[in-house]
Chain A
């Protein structure tokens, strides 16, 4: 009985070594052009700092010119590197296209911009729903579409990357996050299809899944978060922007399709591996071996969450 896994596991590992697609790849960033949307604050800015200190040429796109100037200053101070800045709203395709043309050929595109306003759909204004979908999802299409032709025609045929900033809310939908989760789940559908469309051009798609991260955006969000959302989301830890940026960059450089940022994120990634591609045969093996257990854990989470929801409503009724 015990012999069975001992024989099976090496066989499975070997099999997975041969079948994982797309094949593993390494994406260098030193001396290459990294273009980051939403790059003036939060995770985007942290990414910019780290990419610059690793020798990349960095461009930032964001709405506010003054925040971009501050970001540029802070990167110059910390790593002596000059970044290019472009003010544009990702909802405006023409402005995005112009910025991208000005920036020049891009090797690593980090589609990181995002807005989030947590609230029960019943209470949330449709203008806020539309805002999140327009910026997080449609905006990402605008950016990718502007960059793709130039990326496909690049002279240097080295591996390039399109990285999309999702969220743990893009792996599981939670109370208060209908619109935000919709936009972040959407990025995965986009990414899975896009990877198949661009693999022949040596372009590699990555999806990053941070937990709650210490950023100006999160500070804003916390002020309006429904109580129940805070209770439920508390199950996963929070991280600093620098830590997320490091995980994100490592993931981009290793060409991983799904990039979790902490241990809970890794478990979530395995549970939600679904039908996504996996380039690492080791990771594939871990997914196959552990996804069943993590589905069980996920069911426990739902048991816990729905229990909390029930309790919270019961308390409210008593008052």
Chain B
């Protein structure tokens, strides 16, 4: 049994691709979309505290000014700010050109409205797809040529902010999960296209996080979704720290808590894994995680059934 484990570890040590990499951020340029509030701002603060040069892109100049102020006060660091809507490629591109060569691109912007598809307007669905998915393509496409041509051939990073709703679809999340699952298809393909240029793709899977965004979403969230998802959440600062650490270690999939880690193992699928240790855990625990996933579905559908039954009685 132990021999088997050692053999597996050894085998995986040699086969994991892409190979492990470390991505320094001190004195390097970190460009964060959706960087004026929430997780984006937390990432900015963490990276600033580690000596990175920061640029923030978001829609509202006011919020960007506030963010700039708060980072200056906390870290005595000046960040560059760019007001643009990620749906508008031309303004994104001119912002990125102005910002200068990017070492770590954090595609973090996102919007969410949680509702049954039946009750959700198609304009809201379109909004989420346009911002979360198409918008991410706009940002990456604008940054890619400069990243590929960078003089300093140190490892660079493109990090995408997904969500645990990008690992499993949940009642009320049809459109949001569609966009966050989509980011993973983008990431897996993109990594194969940019590995040659020493660019490393990461995708982060936070749980519900206490941000202005979630406060807004909770107002219209279906009751059943609230029951399923629960009321807790992680702090944006924690996600910021975990994100920056994950990016520095070049990990492809970056979960943010223990449950997220089990989700990551369950949904490892055919995604790349650079850490032979993590790969071994995935191989060994995939079966148990799948079993856990089936229990999760059993519980989930049971909750849905109960809720409908109660509604009928009322």
Contacts and interface: CB of A to CB of B under 8 A. Distances in A.
Interface of A: 16, 19-22, 93, 120-122, 126, 129-130, 133, 137-138, 141-142, 144-145, 148-149, 152, 169-197, 199-200, 232, 268, 271-278, 284, 287-296, 298-303, 305-307, 309-310, 313
Given A19-B294, A178-B186, A307-B17, A193 B125 contact: no
Given A137-B129, A176-B189, A309-B192, A192 B294 contact: no
A144 B17 contact: no
Going nearest first, the 6 A-B pairs with the smallest beta carbon separation are A192-B169, A173-B188, A189-B177, A181-B185, A185-B185, A189-B181
Contact of B122 (A142, A194, A232): A142
Given A171-B269, A275-B263, A298-B268, 11 more contacts: A122-B148, A133-B129, A142-B122, A185-B186, A190-B177, A193-B177, A199-B304, A275-B297, A288-B288, A299-B16, A313-B196
Given A145-B117, A189-B177, A275-B168, A176 B125 contact: no
B297 A277 contact: yes
Contacts of B138: 126
B183 interface: yes
A199 B307 CA distance: 12
B15 A303 contact: yes
Contacts of B285: 292
B266 interface: yes
Contacts of B180: 189
B174 interface: yes
A195 B288 CA distance: 24
Contacts of B181: 185-186, 188-190
A173 B184 contact: yes
Contacts of A305: 17, 192
A93 B122 contact: yes
B294 A190 contact: no
B6 interface: no
A138 B169 contact: no
B110 interface: no
Nearest to A287: B290
Nearest to B273: A299
B283 A182 contact: no
Interface of B: 8, 12, 15-18, 89, 116-118, 122, 125-126, 129, 133-134, 137-138, 140-141, 144-145, 148, 165-193, 195-196, 263, 266-273, 279, 282-291, 293-298, 300-302, 304-305, 308
Contacts of A190: 117, 169, 174-175, 177-178, 181
A149 B119 CA distance: 10
Given A138-B126, A196-B170, A182 B183 contact: yes
Contacts of A300: 15
A121 B145 CA distance: 10
A276 B170 CA distance: 10
9 contacts: A20-B297, A148-B118, A174-B189, A178-B189, A192-B168, A275-B297, A276-B293, A290-B287, A303-B16
A203 B171 CA distance: 14
B167 A275 contact: yes
Contacts of B304: 196, 199-200
Nearest to B19: A306
A157 B7 CA distance: 55
A274 B287 contact: no
A21 B270 contact: no
Given A138-B129, A189-B165, A289-B287, A232 B192 contact: yes
Contacts of B17: 299, 302-303, 305-307
B118 A141 contact: no
A186 B179 contact: yes
B294 A183 contact: no
A194 B117 contact: yes
Contact of B290 (A183, A187, A288, A313): A288
A274 B167 contact: yes
A126 B268 contact: no
Given A20-B298, A148-B117, A278-B294, A174 B134 contact: no
Given A185-B181, A189-B169, A295-B282, A176 B133 contact: no
Contacts of B167: 274-275
A268 B273 CA distance: 17
B159 to A, nearest CB: 16
B291 A173 contact: no
B170 A126 contact: no
A158 to B, nearest CB: 18
B135 to A, nearest CB: 11
A121 B185 contact: no
A98 to B, nearest CB: 15
Contacts of B271: 172
Contact of A122 (B144, B192, B301): B144
B124 to A, nearest CB: 10
A294 B269 CA distance: 8
Contacts of A120: 193
A196 B300 contact: yes
A180 B185 CA distance: 8
